[in-house]
Amino acid sequence: MRNLASIRYEDSSNENCRGRLWIVLGGLYVIILCGGILAAVILSLALPGTKKNVGPRIGNGITVAGGNRKGSLPDQLNDPHGFFVDNQSNIYVADTNNHRIVQWLPDAKYGIIVAGGNGPGSKQNQLRYPSDIWIDRYNNMYIADPGNRRVQLWTSGATSGQTVFNVTDGWSSSDYYSLYVDEVNQEIYIAARSAGQIFRYTLGSRMGVLVADGFGRGNGSHQFNYQRRFTVDRQGKIYVADKFNHRIQKWSRIYSTTQTIPTAKVETIAGITGKNGSNLNQLYNPTDVILDLLAKNIYIADYGNARVIRLPANLADSKREGVVVLNPISVNAILDDLLKSYDRYHRPTYGGEPDKIIVNIYVRSMSGISELDMEYSFDCFFRQRWTDTRLIYNTTSVMNYTSLPVSFQMFSKIWKPDTYFYNGQRSYIHSVPHVNRFFRIATDGTILYSQRLTIRASCIMNLRNLPLDTQHCTLLIGSFAYNSEETIYEWSNKTAVDLQNNLIMNQFSLIDASVGSRILIRENRTRSIIYVVFAFRRHVGYFLLQLYIPCVLIVFLSWVGLWLNREATNDRINLGVTTILTLIFVIIEGKKDLPKVPYITALDCFLAVCFIFVFSTLFEFAIVHYYTKARTGDLNENMRDLEDYVIRDDGTNADEHDISRNDVHLVYRPSLAPTPSINSRTSEKKSYKCYRNIRCKPAYSAFQGRALKNIFYSNSESKIDIFSRTMYPVAFFIFNFIYWAYYLHASQQQSKGEKE
């Protein structure tokens, strides 16, 4: 619902706002055309043969077309200038800047394009800035098309029109034209706002007759100053709303249209003082005038005074005072009356019961949770509601408004609660492009105060189950100065904290927002506070990808050394050191954004165990290597002893100790024996490779001692390695089973536990 006063006072600086009148079947339509809206106030008038009359009253405004801001959509208008109401209460609107005529059925949300709508142009199916429309009894539309300097006729259901006539050359295509069709005499009257002229055309003729000429702008008796709308009675008398001269003129007779000095009889029938004012014999920027069906009364849209005046058409009284039939009371006057004796320094129930502050929050987004700073922040609409009986007003005095949307400048003139956030850190109100806040006053004195805030509050977090944790962050709300005997804070209902759908956060999911209230004792004073507890469950995916899986893979990689030859000292040491350093790097990089807490978290436990497994793998090799070196000497030194052994090909027995395998004989030769020949040395060198690739078994017990122990012994697999290959994976699996079972259970208990 909109009302004449609200449109008048909200848009008084906009010259495109116009008041129009229309009468159909005894009903008076008071129309306000403003930007993208067409609002109507409908009054019942006295019908012929009845005694019903309309006295001064308050009108209720109804948006009958548009009202959804300027635009070209089916439910929008863009600077409408003219309209027509038929006997079925269908409204036809000249949607000027959309270059179309739109029909709005009663109670319709969307309009129907009945002419134009094909963009601006001069074709027969196009219009250019149409400014007025008239519908005859056959539903034919006469359209003033000033952009093309013509009047078009569109028959019912047609997709294009035809030009009835072109206007005089002296009229501008950027002017606005007004129409009146006299169906009885088959005549069309057309006026140009800036030209100050009215022409009459006979249907079928393209030549018009000048019937009213202001001879330029002015305040003379035969002049206009921004002539707006007009109407014509059955005798051809023309009633003109002379806006900036603040009067209504009647042109009753025209003797000649060729003389320099007009001979028309011009009479001022309303606003005879010639000055703007609010008295009954004064007008202030009238924008329209209309006759009732019997031509007995004249109705004037007194736009500057936000009222409709009625006066008899044949009024002979020199005072010419009209009767107010529609006079919405100024909202400013209501507010001024409320604040006359208002004391903003005392709360509404000062000295009595505590004032109740009702709160609700609409969370738009959660912008971040910081474990380092132990803080969280969110963007919300923070709404407060309280009742101030000193601001009660009469509901009929403001057109049945249930609440007044008033300027925020008034907010500093009334009492308001000193609400603050007990654990707030750096909260602020949004101020781009303007301060995001408003307040309204209901008829019973209830005040609604809404702000868009970004609230940053402290949150003491328990990170023992990190990253399988659920954090509970509390926001405490209360009064800064008033105690519980002066103000009481309450939530509007159990779901007073409303969350926007599809609320997405990077590392957390907001799983719950529970509300409550309690009494807080501070400095020997009791304070009423309310609180909301936000439950955040952490997303584990990030930690799995960045820490858990890499650490597990590093542990697996460290086990590769258990399958390497125990004599591969360099390989196993390099592998062990590399895995340790890599794991240390992963741990440092993964924990740099986490707080340094004095207790062990679930993540710390897992990383520590992974480090122990990797380090113990290197330690295991140290043990294996120690026992390997203790049992055998260096193979290169033992190879020198091979000079005491030669290969015999004949296989005969000799005094030397020998050992054979696959027809290859090794013969022990004492060191004092003669030096073998060159061929023999060649055979000896070739035989060295044999010692590395075969296991030689001694043929004699005397040989077993030295040959087997110092030269031909080859290391076998370490029993420690064999045991570790099974023990390490089993132990790591058992650890993971216990770890995940314990901390998943602990996480569930934390989410169900007491909220901090």
- Answer yes or no: do 440 and 527 share one domain: yes
- 275 part of a folded domain: yes
Q: Which of 79-88, 442-451, 512-521 has the lowest mean pLDDT?
A: 79-88
Q: pLDDT value at position 634?
A: 45
pLDDT value at residue 644? 47
Distance in angstroms (rounded) separating the CA atoms of residues 680 and 662: 20
Least confident range of 346-360, 653-667, 721-735: 653-667
Q: Quick: pLDDT tens for 566-605.
A: 888 888 899 999 999 999 999 999 888 888 889 999 999 9
At 740 the pLDDT is 95
What CA–CA distances, in Å, run from 427 to 169, 577, 673? 65, 50, 101
Q: At a CB cut-off of 8 Å and minimum separation 6, what does 720 contact?
A: 620, 623, 624, 627
176, 87: one domain: yes
Is 625 inside a domain boundary?
Answer: no
Average pLDDT of the residues in 290-294: 74
Which of 328, 348, 365 terminates a domain? The answer is 328
State the total domains in the chain.
Answer: 4
Q: How confident is the model at residue 280 (pLDDT cuts 50, 70, 90)?
A: confident
pLDDT in tens, 230-268: 888 888 888 888 888 888 888 876 555 454 444 678 888
pLDDT at 665 over 80: no
Q: How confident is the model at residue 61, as a pLDDT?
A: 56
Kindly report, residue by residue over 188-229, the tens digit of the pLDDT. Answer: 999 887 777 888 998 888 888 888 876 777 788 778 887 778
Helix (H) or strand (E) holding 331: helix 331-338
Produce one character per residue of 703-722: b if its CB has 16 or more CB atoms within 10 Å, e if not: beeebeeebbbeeeebebbe
Residues 520, 549, single domain; the answer is no
Average pLDDT, the chain: 78
Closest CA to 687 of 653, 654, 641: 641
Q: What is the end-to-end Cα distance of the chain in Å, rounded?
A: 47
Query: At 462, which CATH number?
Result: 2.70.170.10
Together in a domain, 324 and 342: no
pLDDT at 453 over 90: yes
Please name the residue that has the structure tokens 């003109």: 240
Residue 374 is predicted with a pLDDT of 92
Question: Nearest CA to 708 among 670, 751, 659?
Answer: 659
pLDDT over threshold 80, residue 355: yes
Token representation of residue 294: 């019997």
Residue 756 resides in a domain: no
- Kindly report whether the peptide bond that precedes residue 595 is cis, defined as omega within 30 degrees of 0: no
Higher pLDDT, residue 299 or 489: 489
Q: How many helices (H) and strands (E) does the chain have?
A: 10, 39
More confident residue, 324 or 330: 324
State the pLDDT at residue 154: 92
Token reading at 481: 């100065």
Q: Are residues 266 and 386 in the same domain?
A: no
Res 19 pLDDT > 70: no
* pLDDT band, very low/low/confident/very high, at 287 (cuts 50, 70, 90): confident
> Stretch 291-301: mean pLDDT, rounded?
76
Evaluate if residue 653 carries a pLDDT over 80. no
CA 538, 594, 453, 515 torsion: positive or negative? Answer: positive
- Is the per-residue pLDDT at 661 higher than 50? no
Rounded to whole angstroms, the Cα distance separating 316 from 297 reads 13
Instruction: CATH number of the domain at 600, please.
Output: 1.20.58.390
Q: Which two tokens stand for residue 298?
A: 């004249």
Residue-number span of the structural domain to which 685 is assigned: 635-711
Residues 376-428: tens digit of each pLDDT:
999 999 999 999 999 987 654 444 566 777 777 788 899 999 999 999 998 99
In the prediction, which pLDDT does 330 show? 58
Mean pLDDT, residues 448-465:
93
Residue 2 DSSP SS3: coil
Per-residue confidence at 465, pLDDT binned at 50, 70, 90?
very high
Lowest mean per-residue pLDDT among 182-191, 436-445, 641-650 = 641-650
Range 271-287 average pLDDT: 82
Assess whether 522 and 665 both reside in one domain. Answer: no
User: Are 135 and 86 within 8 A, CB to CB?
Assistant: yes
Among 274-288, 599-613, 666-680, the least confident range? 666-680
Domain presence at residue 755: no
Whether residue 76 is contained in a domain is answered as yes
CB 330 within 8 A of CB 306: yes
Q: Residues 411, 497: one domain?
A: yes
718 pLDDT higher than 70:
yes
Last residue of a domain, which of 276, 305, 328? 328
753 lies in a domain? no
Closest CA to 471 of 375, 334, 587: 375
Judged against a pLDDT cut of 60, whether residue 37 lies above it is answered with no
> What is the SS3 assignment for 48-73?
CCCCCCCCCCCCCCEEEEECCCECCC
pLDDT at position 674 = 52
Q: What are the tokens at 677?
A: 């020949």
Query: In this structure, what CATH number is given to the domain that contains residue 42?
Result: 2.120.10.30
Rounded to whole angstroms, how far apart are CA atoms 53 and 42?
Answer: 14
Residue-wise DSSP of 574-618: HHHHHHHHHHHHHHHHHHTTS---SS--HHHHHHHHHHHHHHHHH
d(CA 221, CA 214): 9
Interatomic CA distance for residues 399 and 556, integer angstroms: 79
Co-location of 555 and 535 in the same domain? no
Closest CA to 692 of 644, 638, 646: 638
Does residue 57 sit within a domain?
A: yes
Average pLDDT on 716-729 reads: 88
Tell me: pLDDT of 54 over 90. Answer: no
Same domain, 657 and 564: no
Q: Do residue 135 and residue 194 come from a single domain?
A: yes
- Of the pLDDT bands very low, low, confident and very high (cuts 50, 70, 90), residue 55 is very low
Domain shared by 570 and 472, yes or no: no
Q: For residues 216 and 363, state if they share a domain.
A: no
Q: Residue 328 — very low, low, confident or very high, per pLDDT cuts 50/70/90?
A: low
- Indicate whether 143 belongs to any domain: yes
Quick one: what percent of the chain has pLDDT higher than 90?
33
Crossing angle between the packed helical segments 569-591 and 549-558, to the nearest 10 degrees: 170
